[in-house]
Amino acid sequence: MLRLGLALASCQIVTTAFAPAMAQDAAQPLEQKLVLARQIVEYGFPPETRMDVFGAVMHQVVAQLNAATPDLADDPEIFGIINRFQNEALSLGMATLTGHMDGMMEGMAVGYAESFSLPELQALHAYVSTPEGHGFMAKTAAVNSHPAMVAASQGFINEYLGQVPALQEELRAELTEVLERRAAE
């Protein structure tokens, strides 16, 4: 029993003694990966175009939602109200995004650092550091708003939005039931 206790104690001493060094070794690659990831995000989403890229995505989504509900455009008064609110929502979204952009870019860098290996990040960094790769991720937003991609995704949006009212009704019914039951108690 004494030997077992000594063996366990020696294991604890060894692991405790080397734990700081092991943690330092693990932190070094993560820090190295974070440096690369931050540069990848910087090159992929150049600061001077970030807001435009994200704004274009937001506008594209609104345009596709409008295309999925063409009957709204048949009523100019209703469509005018919806269009005004959409523009206000986009303006609000862009103003809000301004205050969050740096945090989002840092979050993206952390995500890259923790999702990719060091060699993968080095390869991606090598690509986005070239003139051909500079702005690659930002250009991806342009690809997503290309007419071919818009046409391909419009079918999804139309089908999805066609199913949402039934789901909304189901949600409303369940919530109403719960709230009415609670009010009666």
5-52 confidence digits (pLDDT tens) = 434 344 444 444 444 444 444 556 899 999 999 999 999 888 998 898
Range 104-121 average pLDDT: 95
Please report the pLDDT score of residue 180 as a whole number. Answer: 96
Burial (CB count within 10 angstroms: exposed 0-12, middle 13-18, buried 19+), residue 13: exposed
Looking at residue 21, what is its pLDDT? 41
Instruction: Indicate the helix (H) or strand (E) that contains 36.
Output: helix 2-44
d(CA 38, CA 92): 27
Q: Which tens digit of pLDDT belongs to each residue from 45-88?
A: 889 988 988 898 889 889 998 888 888 888 999 999 999 999 99
CA nearest neighbour of 128 among 26, 46, 24 = 46
Alpha helix (H) ranges present in 116-185?
118-128, 136-144, 147-184
What are the tens digits of pLDDT across the range 131-182? Answer: 888 878 778 877 878 888 888 888 888 888 889 899 899 989 999 999 999 9
Q: Is the separation of the CB atoms in 158 and 149 below 8 Å?
A: no
Residue 114 pLDDT > 70: yes
Length of the chain: 185
- The pLDDT of residue 105: 93
How large is the average pLDDT for residues 97-119? 94
Treating both helix axes as pointing N-terminal to C-terminal, what angle do 118-128 and 136-144 enclose, rounded to 10 degrees? 80
How far is 47 from 93, CA to CA, in rounded Å? 18
Q: Specify the pTM.
A: 0.66
Helix (H) or strand (E) holding 99: helix 76-115
Nearest to 57 by CA among 127, 177, 138: 138
Domain ranges of the chain: 2-145
